Structures are given as structure tokens and as C-alpha cells.
Copies of this chain bind each other. A is one copy, B any other.
């Protein structure tokens, strides 16, 4: 790690006006997947050492931006994600940023929150890796059952709100599935994310009309009637539908 020349006066503080102390800058990642029949979020346990804030509490994976290593905020989020899961190309979206004098006892801090959606299958790698201080927690309502460190309950709530919002009118939940899936599995994922059931015919019509799915011509053997397998067509982002799912 090369050491940048630090003793040089800060050009910003040298620029005249009041001295602007710099806030702490972190990135936190809300990593979601479908596991064991529910939507789950990856948490890390904070170190037990004295002097650490929230020792032993569960928290979102994240940490300080490393200006020597991270080219930009998204690269920092991808680094955190890869460190915890081994996954390097998930669906990744920025949720927003939170900054205040009080959210971190160590001082004025801002965090940049990203949400990543992973298929469960890609996680086989990670399970062998580290560590007892990592766990998946099922999402219940707007968050998880245990208290979280810092304002992470708020950050998680915002990420879930974003994901649920987009689930109403985009193809987003498809990124929680492996590359080949059936329409039944896709509908099940939508229902898990939204926490309510959807009408089968309307769901299928919408998904097939969206033009985002490619029929793989293969079938999934499930023990009952086999279902057609689809995959997401090659395309940059999400498909947006012009109508939301409606109430109930």
C-alpha cells in the first residue's frame, strides 16, 4: 500500500474560508437473497473489543471508504460485497445516503447505502469461506427481528422500501433467482418480496408481454407437471411496466 504524501497542507482547508473538518465516509450494503423460503439479509457482528461502537451488535456489512483502493463509491460497495460473499457481479443499486452529526458516536459521518440482489446458488462459495460473525436474517416486515447497530434499521428499511416499490412495476425480483427459472418460481419470489399473493394469470401475462424473458425450450422437472424454463434476456437494466400491481 503506497503512502500518499500527507504532510502537505490540505488544499481545501488552505483555500481560505473556515476549516471544514471532513465527515467520516462509509458504505453499507444491504445484501438480499431468497433462502429457506424467505427473503433474507446478510448481517455481520460488530467486534466485541472495548472502544468499538455497538460491540457485538449485528450490522449491515460495510465500512470506511478507502481512498487508496476504491476508485468510486460503487467500487467500494462491490469490494465489501466480494469480501463477504465472493460474488462480484450482482444486481447493485444505490439507495441513498445518510449523514448526520449523531448517527455514529465517533463523529459526523455519512454512509452511502447500496442494495445488492443475489441468487442463493451463487453463495455456495461463500459458505465455505469465513466466519462466525456473519449470518443471514429473515426479513420480517420492515426489517429484521434483532436490533441493529447505528441507524442500520433505518437504512435497511429504506432499502426494503425501494426493493418493494420497484417490485410493483419492474422486473427487479428476477435478479434474486438463478439464471434459469420458471414463471411459477418467479411469481413466488415476487410474492415473498411483496408479502402478498398475486393473481396468476395477470402475473404471467405481464411477464410475457414485457419481452424480457427468453424461453429456454427446456423444462424443469419438479415431480409434478414440468414447467417451461426462462431466463432474462441480455439487457442492461430493469424492465419497467407501465402499470403497478394493484391492491389485493
Q: Are B242 and A67 in contact (CB under 8 A)?
A: no
- Do A98 and B73 form a contact, CB below 8 Å, given A47-B1, A242-B244, A243-B244? yes
* Interface assignment of A46: CB less than 8 Å from any CB of chain B: yes
* Interface assignment of A182: CB less than 8 Å from any CB of chain B: no
* Interface assignment of A100: CB less than 8 Å from any CB of chain B: yes
What is the total number of copies of this protein in its complex?
2
- Do A1 and B63 form a contact, CB below 8 Å, given A17-B6, A99-B112? yes
Residues in chain B near residue A71, CB distance under 8 A: 100-101
Residues in chain B near residue A24, CB distance under 8 A: 12, 15, 22
A9 to chain B, nearest CB (A): 9
Interface size class of A (residues with CB under 8 A): 35 or more
* Interface assignment of A195: CB less than 8 Å from any CB of chain B: no
Complex: chain B residue closest to A5, CB-CB: B47
* Interface assignment of A184: CB less than 8 Å from any CB of chain B: no
Complex interface: stretch among A103-111, A119-127, A137-145, A185-193: A103-111
Could you tell me the dominant secondary structure of chain A's interface residues?
loop
* Interface assignment of A221: CB less than 8 Å from any CB of chain B: no
In the assembled complex, the Cα of A16 lies from the Cα of B2 at a distance in Å of 15
Contact mask for chain A residues 34-55; partner B; CB cutoff 8 A; 1 contact, 0 none:
0000000000101100011000
Pull 28 A–B residue pairs with CB atoms less than 8 Å apart, ordered by A. A1-B46, A2-B64, A6-B21, A10-B51, A11-B64, A11-B106, A15-B51, A20-B66, A21-B67, A22-B22, A22-B25, A23-B25, A23-B67, A25-B99, A67-B101, A70-B101, A72-B101, A73-B99, A94-B97, A96-B96, A96-B97, A97-B97, A97-B110, A97-B112, A110-B112, A242-B243, A243-B243, A243-B244
